[in-house]
Amino acid sequence: MSTATARQAKPATMAQALQRAMRDAMSEDPAVHVLGEDVGTLGGVFRVTDGLAEEFGEDRCTDTPLAEAGILGTAVGMAMYGLRPVVEMQFDAFAYPAFEQLISHVSRMRNRTRGAMPLPITVRVPYGGGIGGVEHHSDSSEAYYMATPGLHVVTPATVEDAYGLLRKAIASDDPVVFLEPKRLYWSKADWSPDAPAAVEPIGRAVVRRTGRSATLVTYGPSVPVCMEAAEAAEAEGWDLEVVDLRSLVPFDDETVCASVRRTGRAVVVHESTGFGGPGGEIAARVTERCFHHLEAPVLRVAGFDIPYPPPMLERHHLPGVDRVLDAVARLQWEVESR
């Protein structure tokens, strides 16, 4: 970051950075339209679209009827006509009515028309737990999206990435499911909206912290958890590397495997269920590619395989620093099993 930028930087939240990304995209390209439930006058239930209707009018930032399939389905038609819709699904578990449109049409329109009809749609989904939400307000639905070819699946963990990745998602000619970790909406960073740092494109992971003894592979809401765990592990003599995936599809095998080859050990950390969750896929990929470099099996630290628990119990479900550290301790497997 240049000194000039650093001087301008002020604390900003992830929600503000996301809002700014939409605002900038809408200013630059009249084809960008925002639509969803309560996105207009209210500015979204998380205020992420705050002020957009005021600035760009109701035709550009539209309060739709309350119908997720209808929101995404009409966005398909809008994209067919040359617009770039940015759709807001109010909460993770309320995106399910739109799955039919997402899977049957959005993900495959480019393919079925042999490239003649790409759909540049961004589907923003606030996801994950940790905010004390009641039932249906805290699902981690990323595995469903990952299992659908034709979609990009992206999730930021930092304020800077929230801005940069959302700009890239809106500019993408392919549909992007943009998962917003809702417990990070209010996380702050010094960030300059007027000179945002260049952001790696969709599909690249970044090393958030370098280390030599093991790699924590993680994304979205679990990135801060892993950073904290890495700090804490220092006391135990572990020097952990943290890889933030940023994009689940496409998956950056290169960055992940380069890290694991260096450290020889890996733990995948996410909130989503372990069984059938993203961690299984990631562990398998790492094992297939780095087997000879591995000193221990790839471990997973995930949410339990249960429907998302009630708020008063969610702290027992969500993988926290201790569980990550326990897994790191288990990476001595090789030593013990001999």
Pairing outcome for strands 206-209 and 240-244: antiparallel
CB of 143 to another protein, least distance (A): 16
Residue 81 vs 336, nearer CB to another protein: 81
Using CB under 8 A as the binding criterion, the count of chain residues that bind another protein stands at 49
CB of 290 to another protein, least distance (A): 15
- Contact call for residues 36 and 182 (beta carbons, < 8 A): no
CA 164 to chain centre: 12
Using CB under 8 A as the binding rule, whether residue 124 contacts another protein is answered as no
CA dist., res. 36 & res. 231, Å (int): 40
Site for another protein in 38-67 (CB under 8 A): 59, 64-65, 67
Tokens in use for 271?
């909130």
Distances (CA, A) of 132 to 128, 137, 248, 304: 11, 9, 26, 17
Per-residue burial over 255-277, b if 16 or more Cβ lie within 10 Å, else e, is bbbbbbebbbbbbbbbbbbbeeb
Q: Does 292 participate in catalysis according to the annotation? A: no
Tokens in use for 31?
């084809």
Site for another protein in 186-215 (CB under 8 A): 203
CB of 83 to another protein, least distance (A): 5
CB of 82 to another protein, least distance (A): 7
The window from 15-23, 245-253, 271-279, 301-309 that contacts another protein (CB under 8 A) reads 245-253
Phi, psi of 290 (to 5 degrees): -125, 20
Residues annotated as part of the active site: 137
**Residue numbers of the site for another protein (CB under 8 A)?**
33, 59, 64-65, 67, 69-70, 72-83, 85, 97, 100-101, 104-105, 108-118, 149-150, 152, 172-174, 203, 249-254
